[in-house]
Amino acid sequence: MKITDLRATTVTVPLHAPLRHGNGAHWGRFVRTIVEVTTDEGLVGLGEMGGGGESAEAAFRGLKPYLVGHDPARLEELRFKIANPTASLYNNRTQMLAAIEFACLDILGQRWGVPVSELLGGRLRDRIPFASYLFFRYANQKDGSGEVRTVDQVVDHAREMKQRYGFTTHKLKGGVFPPEYELEVYRALAASFAGDRFRFDPNGAWSTEQAIWFGREIEGLRNDYLEDPVFGLNGMRRTREKVRVPLATNTVVVNFEQLAANVLDTAVDVVLLDTTFWGGIRPCIKAAGICETFQLGVAVHSSGELGIQLATMLHLGAVIPNLTFAADAHYHHLAGDVIEGGLMRYENGSIAVPTGPGLGVRLDRNKLAEYAALFWKLGGYPYDRDPLRPDWFPTVPNDRFADPADARQPEWV
């Protein structure tokens, strides 16, 4: 089988409300690039990558000379063709390689009539549990609903998520407001849902001393882990020496060199595997194997997926034996999807691993066209901007947090 073409389409899918984070906000929508790889046998494999626009689509077009004529089963060859670690120093293509790997695995599963998880060792579980992934939010621009800023709003939002989707693990995304305020919010969550589990992620916004202080304050709660309280392996290592809560990361261990460094001189306990950041589902499985050997924890990271990427996360979660934590997904913040049947459904806080051939999801062409048109209507937006503070940007560590008493709502797009 040979690859004959690839096509990249940028889409914009609305969120229920804008999600605030330590670097700014997701402005009420996710911009993603959908990749379709076609073969001489007429099969079409699907991939997905974060971000998009003319430059992303052109970057994928630029891969065509490497891909046309390539056998989609030759995935190790593909790694060296596209993302050779020495030859591609100047064109970091890891995330694009990931999208192509998803599509090739999808093609192989369709060709052989088996789900991707069967190609990757076979399912150990049929459903993947997810955390609630709570964000501070601005209100929905159309109807003014959905603001999450005060302690009560966070707890009410968590209760609604739990009732609707069945979550028993809650992740709070912080780094928006001063750490003292976010500690109050986190404690209120832990007190409101006794028996559930909790994790907190300020996206490396704090100094090491703030990270140590916060970590000590939450000892004794039902923490899965404290995620990226500070940026950098050395800050994480110093924090870990002084705090009795496991530390997790999706920022400072995102490749094999960093994983090796973390094994030799441990700075984090739990590695959050992202099928895009690591360059595909297969590198995540390799990394999970190394973590299994060294008894480090793993979980599945979310970088803001639509249904195609969610399928990669589900197949990954299905085959790694050491998945001892609920996965993360932004998925329930989406108002729609590009896959047939619409959004995948949560039941009891979990989503079923697709059982159809390949990734087990198919493109809804009408939705793809609708959301592609929405991208060209609205365009992109700066990820690291808070729409209410246009001149603001965070430092690392940050000392320019938002004010939790500021109830203004942005009026934009």
Looking at 70, 81, 301, 333, which residue is catalytic?
A: 301
The minimum distance between CB 70 and Mg ion, in angstroms, equals 34
Least separation, in Å, of the C-beta of 57 and Mg ion?
Answer: 27
Q: Give 3-state DSSP helix, strand, coil % of the chain, rounded to 5.
A: 35, 20, 45
Active-site residue, 333 included: no
Which residue, 15 or 63, has its beta carbon nearer to Mg ion?
A: 15
Residue 65 C-beta: closest distance to Mg ion, Å: 35
Strands (E), 112-245: 127-129, 134-137, 169-173, 197-201, 223-227
> Any catalytic annotation for residue 301?
yes
Element (H, E) at 115: none
Cα–Cα nearest to 171, from 319, 15, 17, 329: 329
Task: In whole angstroms, give the CA distance from residue 185 to residue 203.
Answer: 16
CB of 201: closest distance to Mg ion in angstroms? 4
Residues that bind Mg ion (CB under 5 A): 201, 227, 250
Nearest 5°: the CA angle 58, 59, 65 is 95
Q: What 8-state DSSP symbol labels residue 133?
A: -
- Catalytic-role residue among 21, 81, 173, 315: 173
Q: Distance between CA 63 and CA 69 in Å, rounded? A: 12
Query: What's the rounded Cα separation, in Å, for the pair 78 and 101?
Result: 8
For the bound state, the minimum distance from the C-beta of residue 249 to Mg ion, rounded and expressed in Å, comes to 7
Contacts of 382 (CB under 8 A, 6+ apart): 24
Active site residues: 173, 301
